Amino acid sequence: MEFSHQKELLLCALKHFDIDVIAFKGQKVILKENMFVSMGEGPQFQLWKSGRREATFNDVVKLCTHLKMHLEWNEKSGVENSGTS
């Protein structure tokens, strides 16, 4: 898969899942919470968090599902842990 098609596929999927894109840098799509997705050969997407590779996906839908669950879990944790006891 050509890089431009791979990037368009990723951006379309992220938009569909309502995952915000912060910026683009070469073959990286920067997301919030110190995360980014890099694109490799073929339909391969690597998820990075805090400078460490977290997972590799060949399916953009599985990548976005994983991201969405992670981001929603962090939002719920932040809300639950933000109050005083």
Q: Where are the beta strands (DSSP E) in 2-85?
A: 21-25, 28-31, 35-39, 45-49, 52-57
Kindly report, residue by residue over 26-75, the tens digit of the pLDDT: 889 999 889 999 998 777 999 999 999 999 999 999 999 999 998 887 66
Specify the number of domains making up the chain: 1
Q: How confident is the model at residue 1 (pLDDT cuts 50, 70, 90)?
A: low
79 class by beta-carbon count within 10 Å (0-12 exposed, 13-18 middle, 19+ buried): exposed
Kindly report, residue by residue over 11-39, the tens digit of the pLDDT: 999 999 999 999 998 889 999 889 999 99
Determine the structural domain holding residue 16 and report its residue range: 3-82
Amino acid present at 26 = G
